[in-house]
Structure 1
Amino acid sequence: MDTNLRPAPRAFELRRQSDDLVYRFERCTGPSGHAGFKRTDGDHWIIRHELLGWIAGDWGSDEVFGRPWDLLAVQSGEVPPEGIWVSRKGPKSYVYELVYL
């Protein structure tokens, strides 16, 4: 039996580096029936876009609100990658660290 196999993570946090704000995301099924991760305090999603890989975005559009900083879409695995993520909110951008719980 392979002991390196781990179950898919059920939750993670995005920890904003500038002020230590933390957003928690949990695995959820989206409106289209696809799995994603939904923020626990609102209707904000981390989803697997078929062309862009894992992004913070909406199910019904190609608008991107955040993404991994140094990972190409073709390198996206089955779950959002741990590490540095960046986001855009209007004229501001933020740097986060994605950490599985």
Structure 2
Amino acid sequence: MDEGTQTVAFELRRRIDDLVYRFAKATDPMGRVGFKRSDGDYWIIWHEKLRWIAGAWDDAEVLGRPWDQLAKQSDASPPEGVWVSRKGSKSYVYDLVYVETP
């Protein structure tokens, strides 16, 4: 996706089993903008110190993040590439890929 295009949707594609989670730009009840997963109340949000993370605005727990934390990140959209997550004692590797929306 080129620099002038605003991200409105992306997928997280889990490498181990090809499971795909779809996210779209959304606004929460408090007026905060992030990317909400299509199958539940799971968010990718901009954190002032950590930059893009999977988590919640009001919770200190980070559930996922881009693997390459040294890469430049825009505050407008999460970076494409490798992401890692943690759920309990399990970790997963994903590829974040921008998708076209109608």
Shared fold (TM-score greater than 0.5)? Answer: yes
Q: CA deviation at 1:30?
A: 2.1
What is aligned with 1:91? 89
Q: How far does residue 62 in structure 1 lie from its aligned partner after superposition? A: 1.7
Give me the whole-angstrom Cα distance separating, in 1, the residues matched to 2:41 and 2:30: 15
- Alpha-carbon deviation of 1:31? 3.1
Shift in alpha-carbon separation, 1:21–1:31, aligned structure 2, 3 A: same
Q: Which amino acid aligns with 1:60?
A: D
User: Bigger radius of gyration, 1 or 2?
Assistant: 1
| 2:49 aligned residue | 51
After TM superposition, the structure 1 = structure 2 runs for residues 5-16 of structure 1, keeping only pairs within 5 Å, are 6-16=4-14
Unaligned runs of 5+ in 2: none
Give the CA RMSD over aligned residues. 1.5
- List, as ranges, runs of 4+ consecutive aligned residues in structure 1 with deviation greater than 3 Å: none
Report the counterpart of residue 73 of structure 2 in structure 1: 76
* Identity rate, percent: 62
* Aligned residue pairs, count: 97
TM-score by length of 1: 0.89
